[in-house]
Amino acid sequence: MFRILVADDEGIMLESIRSIIESNFKSECEIVCVKTGRAVIEQAGQFRPDIAFVDIQMPGLSGIQAIREIRKFNQTMVFIIMTAFDKFSYAQEAVNLGVMEFIMKPVNKKKILDVCVKAMHQVEEARQKISDDLKIRERLEIVVPMIESGFIYTILQEDSDPFHSGYPEMLDIRKPYGFIVVLEFGDSMEGGTMTNAIGVGVKVNKYYSMVREILKDYFECVIGPAMGNRLVLFLSFDQEKMQYEKRVEVITRTRNMIHKLENSMDIKCRGGIGSVKPLAEIRHSYTEALKSLRESDSHVVHITDIPAVAEYDGEYPLDLENQYLQRGMKADREGALSCANEFFDWMLVHDGDMRSNIEIKVLELVMRLERRAFEAGNVRYGFRYRENYMAELKEAADGEGVRRWFLSKTRDICDKISTSREREFENVVSRVKGYIDENYARDISLDDVSRMVDISPYYFSKLFKQEVGENFIEYVTRTRIKNARRLLEDPRYSIKEICVMSGYSDPNYFSRIFKKYEGMTPTEYRER
């Protein structure tokens, strides 16, 4: 079926062309006739013809003007111009607009039929091209995910070299660097772990095509298969190191992407982001992305926003070990002690008759936690600091004595981390508070101070509220109001001047904020 539009202001011409086409092509064509250039544009949107016979001279818009407008939204319609004038005066613009043919009036039946056949062949060729392109796209929809999955699997294998695997050429990866984003899904977040990993993993697999579309909307990335409740993304990068602004942009995009995924599938999601690495070393970025997930309960966390930690590979309960180390590093003393007790019970069940094995494992866990705390800058570390550990374990009267030693060391490390972290957070927050106290009259933003302390805005905002007890904006506002009160007691300054000196450009807004915090306007405060 071909849709044909005929446009001419002469009714006889319209009926003549309609009759010629219908009598020769019968049910193969659906024909609409119009008499103005405006109607041509309207039918181009409503009727969506494949072929259009358009007269040059019509009331209102000319045929050329109508074609020019239609070309703004339709590049495939086949146009045939009909004119009683010298066609060469329109030739240049008609060529630019992609007109297929000119017909000089008066027209004859043979010419109309010849042009119709030619136009129909052109339409069929265009349709075939679209069909072929769709088939290729359908095949690519199957092949490309397979190639991308192969590339991600290559990254995850320890002994493989993604750079020489052939995948970068197939995926047109030309930039020399890249980084990894790991997405983790679940029903909820409990104790640093996503719940219902298996069930949600099945759900992610079910909606994998939709998930890929969402991810591709936010990043130009290579997407791995759904592995359990995780997805691994590779993003190429053209520089050896990611600057602060770009890092914040990536975090922001990842947050927005995660919100879209959560709303689309009604599940919870979080993301860990590794640092930029050369392609041959990209697996290290994957390891960092996993650490980011393990060491923080934030929605999205970049590896540079948390202390670097050591990796451990063990054959005993890995989840329990990870929880022990994670809670210990968070200075969650009760949580770490609970994990230590549970772990010790497991060892008694599985190797209770081999005290030496239990001693070695306990010593290993304590030293692992100490090492992580040292790398985070939370504890001191030296060659002789552990010289009594072996003797103390050997002096323990029985298994419960070993347990008490294990718990005691865990408690000590947690306390040291807590003290050190409080001091570290206090230093960061104290620095920011000092900056606010000195610059409250200026335009201060969360982005500015986050950049100053080199922590992403999201992580810093959480840290600031945790340490100060109120969010960043509230603290800035309270600081400004406190100084405004002091200035209002000095009669040398007008209220308008105090407004500016307090960091506000709009006196009315300043007055509203002041009343919200003080229960009265600046004028009333000064009078009292």
Across the range 319-341, mean pLDDT stands at: 86
pLDDT at 316 over 60: no
pLDDT at 90: 65
Return d(Cα 260, Cα 254) in angstroms, integer: 10
Q: What is the dihedral of CA 23, 26, 30, 35, to 10 degrees?
A: 0
Picking from 127-141, 219-233, 434-448, which range would have the lowest pLDDT averaged per residue? 127-141
Question: Phi and psi of 70, rounded to 5°?
Answer: -65, -35
Maximum distance among all alpha carbons in the chain? 116
Please give the pLDDT value at position 505.
87
Per residue in 16-35, pLDDT tens?
999 999 999 888 899 999 99
Give DSSP secondary structure letters for 457-518.
HHHHHHHHHHHHSS-HHHHHHHHHHHHHHHHHT-TTS-HHHHHHHTT-S-HHHHHHHHHHHH
The whole-number pLDDT of residue 168 equals: 84
For 374, half-sphere exposure in the C-beta direction (CA atoms, 13 angstrom radius) is 12
pLDDT, tens only, 368-413: 888 888 776 666 666 666 778 888 888 887 888 889 999 998 998 8
pLDDT in tens, 76-100: 899 999 887 665 566 667 777 888 9
What is the C-alpha to C-alpha distance for residues 209 and 501, in angstroms, rounded to an integer? 55
pLDDT of the residue at 101: 87
Question: Contact, 313 vs 324, CB < 8 A?
Answer: no
- Give 206-213 contacts, CB < 8 A, sequence gap 24+: 207/264, 207/265, 209/141, 210/264, 210/265, 211/261, 211/264, 211/265, 212/145
Helix (H, G, I), strand (E, B) or coil at 193: strand
Tell me the mean pLDDT in the region 187-205: 84
- Structure confidence at residue 46 as a pLDDT band (50, 70, 90): very high
Rounded Cα–Cα distance for residues 202 and 226 (Å) = 9
Q: What distance in Å separates the CA atoms of residue 191 and residue 319, rounded to the nearest whole number?
A: 11
Total Cβ atoms within 10 A of residue 153? 17
Query: How far, in Å, CA of 370 to CA of 380, rounded?
Result: 9
Banded pLDDT at 313 (limits 50, 70, 90): very low
The per-residue pLDDT for 325 is 87
Confidence bin at 315 (pLDDT 50/70/90): low
What percent of the chain is modeled with pLDDT above 90? 37
Of 346, 344, 350, nearest in space to 398 by CA: 344
pLDDT of residue 42: 93
- The enclosing H or E element of 222 equals strand 222-223
Say yes or no to pLDDT of 310 above 70: no
- What pLDDT was estimated at residue 160? 66
Which of residues 526 and 372 earns the better pLDDT score? Answer: 526
User: How many Cα atoms are found within 13 Å in the side-chain-facing hemisphere of 158?
Assistant: 0
Q: Cα 376–378–384 angle (5° rounding)?
A: 105
Provide the Cα torsion 467, 470, 472, 478; round to 10°: -120
Read off the pLDDT of residues 205-264 as tens digits, 9 standing for 90 and up. Answer: 899 989 999 999 999 999 999 888 999 999 999 998 899 999 999 999 999 999 999 999
Backbone angles phi, psi at 273, to 5 degrees: -120, 125
Q: What is the pLDDT of residue 314?
A: 45
Highest mean pLDDT: which range of 303-307, 344-348, 493-497? 493-497
Contacts of 240 (CB under 8 A, 6+ apart): 177, 276, 278
Angstrom distance (rounded) from CA 150 to CA 194: 26
321 vs 500, higher pLDDT: 500
pLDDT at 141 over 80: no
**Does pLDDT of 476 surpass 80?**
yes
Specify the pTM: 0.48
Provide the pLDDT for residue 237: 94
Neighbours of 177 (CB within 10 A): 20
